[in-house]
A and B are shown apart, each in its own frame.
Chain A
Amino acid sequence: MNTRLDSLWFALAVIVIWQVLFWIAGEEAIASPFDTLRQAVLLIGSAGFWGHAAATFEAFGWAVLIAVVLGIVMGLTLGLWPLAAEVAEPIINALYAIPKITLYPVILLFFGLGVPAKVAFGVIHGVFPVMLLTMNGVRTIHPVIRKTARALRLTAVETIRTVLLPASLPEIFSGVRIGIALTLLGTLIGELFASNRGLGFLLLRAADRQDVPGTMALILLLFTVAALAGAGLLAIDRQLHHTR
């Protein structure tokens, strides 16, 4: 309860600072909290908005699906094969850290404008944390657990399904949580450059037209959705790490 009250105070402080910034910088730079909120409500109520939102979440959904499945499969394989893991880890780390925004011309040249480019952009952002954390999750499983699976003569599929996946679930979920956040980022970046539909496209168009309230309303909506989803996933993540 106390935390909720504190959240309210925090939100109030943010709004006050925002309003003061608005007074200092003027309306050609930022929009006031009230104008932004009004614009956001107008936007949600407008006819075109939900089509763009659906376009974003369609691409985001595919990208998450590919990034998570690919990341877990690759992470499991590497985790079970120590030599491969040792060879691959620095390579994956390097790929994880490159500024992927510079690859947007390459992605466009390979995939063309449209949904596949957006999905590809989402996947290259999200797949590496899933892969890394799954790999480390499997590698750090207590040896006794894996020996037990062998002593029970479980088949490879049974071992993965009933022993390895449950035992490394907290780490895998942490990877998925970070992966989902980065996939959203990647999908939105893809839309900024490579699309004529979606929320990223709306954002760039608003910024291009110097439509400050529109830009800030979109930022507010995206940040709210991302923060709520992030908080939800974080709560599950903590639960998983706690119960073990």
Chain B
Amino acid sequence: MTRVGIIRLILVSAFVAVVELACRTGIIDPFTMIAPSAMAASLAGLIEDGKLGADLAFTLTNMAASIALAVVAGFVSGAVIHALPRLRRVVDPLLAAYYAVPTFVFYPLLVVILGLNRLPLIVIGAMFGTVGMAVNTIDGIDRIPRVLIKTASAYRMDPIRAVLLIKLPAATPHLFTGVKLAVTYSMIGVVAGEFILSMAGLGRSIAFAYNDLDNTTMYGLLLLLLSITTAVNVLLNYAEQRVYRRWGCA
């Protein structure tokens, strides 16, 4: 491990130790937060119980579906917006403002339209992720060097080959950033929906435990959810760095 990695590990461990101490000595009372070790124990108990599986599977499959939807919809709408400069000038400020509006206010409406099942969760997650993907698709197409496009026409490539052999590879780094955002935002959207109104899933279980004043279960589930999202994010960041290095634009 590098020196920086070791310092980071020590820092994070020290932080967890301080929180643990504050909880054990009663500086933070157990009705506010339970000790990190107790969270881990609670999570281990929940996993052993086996009741977690269904909720976990429900949440993860919804996340996967909404990520797929967001990536496809974001890529297509990004490409369309890029192809129409007049449309682009109009929607640019809207895209910039999009993440300031709590999109999931539409969630109750989606439940009314699609029914209380997993569909509104998938759609709200996709609505969260699509714009991040679209913005980065536009950026990516923007940054394809003009010399490459000229090369394509010098080789007399037809449009499909030009897209597959030149444009997509050249835009890959930005597209990857878009996918990363789509993954992060879709996960947030799905969990947010489950929090508000749902009949299953991790988000609902956390909200349920909170309303039940069952802090042990709630913090165990929070630990699980935050571990999953952080692990996914760390992996994506690592992969992103590799893509940028491979494409020589780190």
What is the interface of chain A, defined by CB distance below 8 A to chain B?
2-3, 6-7, 10, 25, 28-30, 83, 86-87, 90-91, 93-94, 97-99, 101-106, 109-110, 180-182, 184-185, 188-189, 192, 200, 203, 207, 212, 215-216, 218-219, 222-223, 226-231, 233-234
Contacts and interface: CB of A to CB of B under 8 A. Distances in A.
B99 A185 contact: yes
B21 interface: no
Interface in B74-96: 86-87, 89-94, 96
Interface string B97-111: 101111001101100
B234 interface: yes
B237 interface: yes
Contacts of B8: 87, 90-91
Contacts, number: 130
B90 A203 contact: no
A168 B163 CA distance: 37
23 contacts: A6-B87, A10-B87, A83-B4, A90-B234, A93-B233, A97-B184, A99-B229, A101-B192, A102-B226, A105-B210, A181-B96, A181-B99, A182-B100, A184-B100, A185-B101, A189-B102, A200-B102, A207-B105, A219-B101, A219-B106, A222-B101, A222-B102, A226-B100
B94 A227 contact: yes
The 5 A-B pairs of least Cβ separation, nearest first, read A230-B97, A231-B93, A181-B100, A226-B100, A99-B188
Interface string B199-219: 000010011001000010010
B93 A234 contact: yes
Contacts of A184: 100
A212 B106 CA distance: 10
B234 A110 contact: no
A30 B225 CA distance: 33
Interface of B: 4, 7-8, 11-12, 31-33, 86-87, 89-94, 96-97, 99-102, 105-106, 108-109, 112-113, 184, 187-188, 191-192, 195, 203, 206-207, 210, 215, 218, 222, 225-226, 229-230, 233-234, 237
Nearest to B196: A192
Nearest to A192: B102
Contacts of B12: 91
B67 to A, nearest CB: 14
B4 A93 contact: no
Main secondary structure, interface of A, reads helix
Contact of A29 (B92, B112, B207, B218): B112
Contacts of A28: 112
A90 B230 contact: no
B96 A234 contact: yes
A230 B90 contact: no
A140 B142 CA distance: 23
Contacts of B90: 3, 6-7, 10
B233 A94 contact: yes
B4 A226 contact: no
B91 A10 contact: yes
B153 to A, nearest CB: 29
A215 B109 CA distance: 9
Contacts of B207: 105
Contacts of B188: 99, 101
A227 B100 CA distance: 8
Nearest to B188: A99
A228 B187 CA distance: 28
A229 B101 CA distance: 12
A219 B101 CA distance: 8
A97 B229 contact: yes
B230 A101 contact: no
Given A30-B109, A93-B237, A222-B101, A102 B206 contact: yes
Contacts of A207: 105, 108
Nearest to B237: A93
Contact of B7 (A87, A223, A226): A87
